[in-house]
A = this chain, B = another copy of it.
Protein backbone atom coordinates (compact mmCIF):
# COMPACT_ATOMS: atom_id res chain seq x y z
CA UNK A 1 0.00 0.00 0.00
CA UNK A 2 2.79 2.42 0.85
CA UNK A 3 4.56 1.41 -2.34
CA UNK A 4 1.54 2.15 -4.50
CA UNK A 5 0.93 5.44 -2.72
CA UNK A 6 4.50 6.42 -3.36
CA UNK A 7 4.19 5.51 -7.03
CA UNK A 8 1.05 7.53 -7.47
CA UNK A 9 2.53 10.49 -5.61
CA UNK A 10 5.64 10.64 -7.77
CA UNK A 11 4.15 9.95 -11.19
CA UNK A 12 3.79 13.07 -13.32
CA UNK A 13 0.18 14.05 -14.08
CA UNK A 14 -0.11 14.57 -17.85
CA UNK A 15 -3.17 16.43 -19.20
CA UNK A 16 -4.13 18.32 -22.39
CA UNK A 17 -5.71 21.65 -21.38
CA UNK A 18 -6.25 22.65 -25.04
CA UNK A 19 -5.82 21.00 -28.45
CA UNK A 20 -2.30 22.44 -28.81
CA UNK A 21 -1.01 22.00 -25.26
CA UNK A 22 0.38 19.39 -22.91
CA UNK A 23 0.43 20.11 -19.17
CA UNK A 24 2.62 18.08 -16.84
CA UNK A 25 2.48 18.44 -13.08
CA UNK A 26 4.89 16.84 -10.65
CA UNK A 27 5.79 17.33 -6.97
CA UNK A 28 9.41 17.03 -5.83
CA UNK A 29 10.47 16.39 -2.22
CA UNK A 30 12.90 19.30 -2.12
CA UNK A 31 12.74 23.05 -1.50
CA UNK A 32 12.20 25.34 -4.47
CA UNK A 33 15.74 26.75 -4.61
CA UNK A 34 17.18 23.26 -5.08
CA UNK A 35 14.63 22.32 -7.75
CA UNK A 36 15.22 25.60 -9.59
CA UNK A 37 18.97 24.96 -9.53
CA UNK A 38 18.50 21.43 -10.87
CA UNK A 39 16.64 22.90 -13.90
CA UNK A 40 19.05 25.75 -14.58
CA UNK A 41 22.57 24.57 -13.65
CA UNK A 42 24.25 22.79 -16.61
CA UNK A 43 26.20 20.46 -14.30
CA UNK A 44 23.02 19.37 -12.52
CA UNK A 45 20.81 19.04 -15.61
CA UNK A 46 23.42 16.73 -17.15
CA UNK A 47 22.77 14.38 -14.22
CA UNK A 48 19.03 13.86 -14.69
CA UNK A 49 17.67 15.12 -18.05
CA UNK A 50 19.15 12.18 -19.99
CA UNK A 51 17.52 9.54 -17.75
CA UNK A 52 20.82 7.77 -17.19
CA UNK A 53 22.06 8.35 -20.75
CA UNK A 54 25.14 10.49 -21.27
CA UNK A 55 24.03 14.10 -21.83
CA UNK A 56 26.39 16.67 -23.31
CA UNK A 57 25.29 20.22 -22.51
CA UNK A 58 26.77 22.04 -25.50
CA UNK A 59 25.17 25.37 -24.69
CA UNK A 60 23.03 26.60 -21.81
CA UNK A 61 22.83 30.36 -21.40
CA UNK A 62 20.05 30.71 -18.83
CA UNK A 63 18.96 34.30 -19.54
CA UNK A 64 16.39 35.96 -21.78
CA UNK A 65 17.56 35.47 -25.39
CA UNK A 66 20.13 32.82 -24.45
CA UNK A 67 20.35 29.51 -26.30
CA UNK A 68 20.52 25.96 -25.04
CA UNK A 69 21.55 22.74 -26.78
CA UNK A 70 21.75 19.25 -25.26
CA UNK A 71 23.01 16.12 -27.01
CA UNK A 72 21.80 12.83 -25.56
CA UNK A 73 23.73 9.64 -26.27
CA UNK A 74 21.23 6.77 -26.13
CA UNK A 75 21.74 3.08 -26.98
CA UNK A 76 19.76 3.80 -30.18
CA UNK A 77 21.80 6.79 -31.28
CA UNK A 78 22.61 10.42 -30.68
CA UNK A 79 19.77 12.95 -30.31
CA UNK A 80 20.17 16.71 -30.27
CA UNK A 81 17.69 19.11 -28.66
CA UNK A 82 17.84 22.88 -28.62
CA UNK A 83 15.97 26.11 -28.05
CA UNK A 84 16.13 29.59 -26.66
CA UNK A 85 15.11 31.20 -23.39
CA UNK A 86 12.19 33.61 -23.54
CA UNK A 87 11.85 34.34 -19.83
CA UNK A 88 13.96 33.53 -16.77
CA UNK A 89 12.42 34.61 -13.45
CA UNK A 90 14.60 32.98 -10.77
CA UNK A 91 12.87 30.29 -8.68
CA UNK A 92 9.50 31.11 -10.26
CA UNK A 93 9.24 30.78 -14.02
CA UNK A 94 11.25 29.55 -16.96
CA UNK A 95 9.97 29.91 -20.53
CA UNK A 96 11.98 28.49 -23.43
CA UNK A 97 11.52 26.93 -26.84
CA UNK A 98 12.10 23.24 -27.54
CA UNK A 99 13.12 21.61 -30.81
CA UNK A 100 14.35 18.07 -31.52
CA UNK A 101 16.90 17.62 -34.33
CA UNK A 102 14.77 14.77 -35.71
CA UNK A 103 11.98 17.24 -36.54
CA UNK A 104 13.85 20.47 -37.28
CA UNK A 105 11.75 23.60 -37.57
CA UNK A 106 8.98 22.21 -35.37
CA UNK A 107 9.23 24.42 -32.31
CA UNK A 108 7.20 24.20 -29.10
CA UNK A 109 7.22 26.66 -26.20
CA UNK A 110 7.68 25.26 -22.68
CA UNK A 111 6.57 27.25 -19.65
CA UNK A 112 7.85 25.81 -16.37
CA UNK A 113 6.39 27.18 -13.14
CA UNK A 114 7.94 26.34 -9.75
CA UNK A 115 5.59 26.49 -6.76
CA UNK A 116 6.87 26.40 -3.16
CA UNK A 117 4.42 24.14 -1.29
CA UNK A 118 5.59 25.53 2.07
CA UNK A 119 6.45 22.10 3.49
CA UNK A 120 9.85 21.62 1.90
CA UNK A 121 8.32 20.32 -1.33
CA UNK A 122 8.00 21.98 -4.73
CA UNK A 123 5.37 21.59 -7.42
CA UNK A 124 6.64 21.91 -11.00
CA UNK A 125 4.05 22.58 -13.71
CA UNK A 126 5.30 22.33 -17.28
CA UNK A 127 2.98 23.53 -20.05
CA UNK A 128 4.08 23.02 -23.66
CA UNK A 129 2.39 24.86 -26.54
CA UNK A 130 2.68 23.57 -30.12
CA UNK A 131 1.85 25.27 -33.44
CA UNK A 132 -0.37 22.35 -34.49
CA UNK A 133 -2.46 19.68 -32.76
CA UNK A 134 -0.64 17.08 -34.91
CA UNK A 135 2.69 18.15 -33.41
CA UNK A 136 1.22 17.90 -29.91
CA UNK A 137 -0.17 14.42 -30.61
CA UNK A 138 3.12 13.32 -32.18
CA UNK A 139 4.88 14.30 -28.95
CA UNK A 140 2.29 12.44 -26.82
CA UNK A 141 2.65 9.32 -29.00
CA UNK A 142 6.46 9.40 -28.87
CA UNK A 143 6.52 7.98 -25.36
CA UNK A 144 7.32 11.42 -24.04
CA UNK A 145 5.38 10.90 -20.77
CA UNK A 146 7.34 7.72 -19.98
CA UNK A 147 10.61 9.47 -20.85
CA UNK A 148 9.70 12.34 -18.62
CA UNK A 149 8.80 10.02 -15.72
CA UNK A 150 12.25 8.46 -16.08
CA UNK A 151 13.92 11.91 -16.14
CA UNK A 152 11.97 13.05 -13.10
CA UNK A 153 12.81 9.81 -11.26
CA UNK A 154 16.50 10.60 -11.90
CA UNK A 155 15.85 14.12 -10.61
CA UNK A 156 14.27 12.63 -7.44
CA UNK A 157 17.52 10.74 -6.93
CA UNK A 158 19.62 13.86 -7.42
CA UNK A 159 17.46 15.87 -4.99
CA UNK A 160 17.65 13.07 -2.40
CA UNK A 161 21.41 13.54 -2.10
CA UNK A 162 22.55 16.31 0.25
CA UNK A 163 23.10 19.68 -1.51
List the interface of chain A (C-beta within 8 A of B).
64-66, 83-87, 95-97, 99, 101, 104-107, 109, 129-131
Contacts and interface: CB of A to CB of B under 8 A. Distances in A.
A139 to B, nearest CB: 15
| Nearest 6 CB-CB pairings of A with B | A86-B105, A65-B104, A107-B107, A84-B105, A84-B104, A97-B105
Contact of A64 (B65, B96, B104): B104
Contacts of A104: 64-66, 84-86
Nearest to A82: B84
Nearest to A104: B65
Contacts of A131: 109, 129-131
Nearest to A83: B105
Contacts of A101: 65
Contacts of A96: 105
